[in-house]
Amino acid sequence: MTAIPLIVDCDPGVDDAVALLLAFAAPEQLELLAVTTVGGNVPARLTARNARIIRQIAAREDVPVYAGAEQPLVRAAEAASHFHGESGLGWLETFEPDTPTAAGHAALAIVETVMASPARTVTVAAMGPMTNLALAIKLEPAVVDRLAQVVVMGGARREGGNITPSAEYNIFADPHSAQIVFSSGLRIVVLGLDATHQVRTTPDRLAAMEALDTPAARTAAQLLEFSQEVERRLVGPGPPPLHDPCTIAWLLAPELFTAVPVGLNVETSSPLTLGHTAVEFRQDDLGAPAIRWVTEVDADGVYALLLQHLTR
């Protein structure tokens, strides 16, 4: 497998941080061109710092981190610090990283990186509100044809929402950007809650991670212990879902996932269902779909992949 040129757009965020650890640990399979950050789970200055903290723990200062949008395109910012802690990294001890953010806005970095690379080679893994990507498309519409694909964590269809009864957080946090991305014609794979709710951090899986005793595994385990506690406190008994790492797992081992072509639009005006993803499975109505929706995940396979990489 030749390494996939990749931009990770994220809002760390506990599960974003685990996704970054996985991506940083797979240099043979992923050529990480940049990490771009966006305000989301916590404000933008914290997501940019958190990405740099994880980069330092992973000893991957070769990868630039660009800070991006502080606000969603239209609506007011709405953090999810109840799920990620005030810092965004749960119980992880935070510090000021040695290496600063790279100069320039994340949206511009996406445009410049994609336009400077050969056509249809660069993938974006989007695991936060998609403000940076929407801005990039508006700044330079040619990125749509130029990108290979976008792998999105966001949305919900068969599962209900996790921030409102019908909306998943990343789409709810910036529904207007999400609609720009989904209606752009980009080739997109979507891992919504229908997929990520199949991948749970059970006590056995967490114990296996703790036993690895590498810096990356220790960090991931500490992050996910916080998720377990939050799930128990805010959602109910049962292991918490592992959302964002699924985007990286899709890139590393797509055979672990089943995806079907769909149509997809985002509700942007209803106060009741803002951020709902209307997913159309009926094949006759689809025309030439560019969007694939993940329906099934081999959760044991995703966890095995994660553990295998965190041993590095």
* Of 13-21, 213-221, 249-257, 283-291: span binding ligand BDR (CB under 6 A): 13-21
Burial class (CB within 10 angstroms; exposed 0-12, middle 13-18, buried 19+) of 161: buried
Alpha carbon 75 to its chain's center = 20
Contact pattern for ligand BDR over residues 82 through 101, marking x by CB under 6 A: -x------------------
CB of 218 to Ca ion, least distance (A): 21
DSSP state of 200: B
d(CA 205, CA 310): 13
Is 181 near ligand BDR (CB under 6 A)?
Answer: no
Amino acid letter at 105? Answer: H
d(CA 279, CA 195): 14
Binding to Ca ion in span 9-48, by CB under 5 A: 11, 13, 16
How many contiguous H segments (helices) and E segments (strands) does the chain have? 13, 9
CB of 282 to Ca ion, least distance (A): 30
Is 170 near ligand BDR (CB under 6 A)?
Answer: yes
Is 128 near Ca ion (CB under 5 A)?
Answer: yes
Is 13 near ligand BDR (CB under 6 A)?
Answer: yes
d(CA 219, CA 294): 28
What 3 state SS string does 144-188 have?
Answer: HHHCCEEEEECCCCCCCCCCCCCECHHHHHCHHHHHHHHCCCCCE
The only residue of 24, 66, 169, 293 in contact with ligand BDR, by rule CB under 6 A: 169
The only residue of 7, 51, 80, 242 in contact with ligand BDR, by rule CB under 6 A: 80
CB of 53 to Ca ion, least distance (A): 15
Closer residue to ligand BDR, CB minimum distance, 14 or 25: 14
Is 143 near Ca ion (CB under 5 A)?
Answer: no
Amino acid letter at 116? Answer: A
The only residue of 5, 6, 8, 15 in contact with ligand BDR, by rule CB under 6 A: 15
Contact pattern for ligand BDR over residues 116 through 135, marking x by CB under 6 A: -----------xx-------
Which 3 state secondary structure label does DSSP give 107? helix
Q: What share of the chain is helix, strand, coil (3-state, %, to 5)?
A: 40, 20, 40
Q: Which residue is nearest to ligand BDR (CB)?
A: 169
CB of 161 to ligand BDR, least distance (A): 9
Q: Are 78 and 47 in contact (CB under 8 A)?
A: no
Binding site partner of 168, from Ca ion, ligand BDR, none, Cβ cut-off 5-8 A by kind: ligand BDR
Q: Which helix (H) or strand (E) holds 260?
A: strand 257-266
CB of 243 to Ca ion, least distance (A): 7
d(CA 122, CA 243): 22
Is 174 near ligand BDR (CB under 6 A)?
Answer: no
Which 3 state secondary structure label does DSSP give 11? coil
Residues of the shown chain interacting with ligand BDR in the complex, contacts defined by CB under 6 A:
13, 15-16, 41, 80, 83, 127-128, 153, 162, 168-170, 243-244
Binding site for Ca ion (CB under 5 A): 11, 13, 16, 127-128, 244
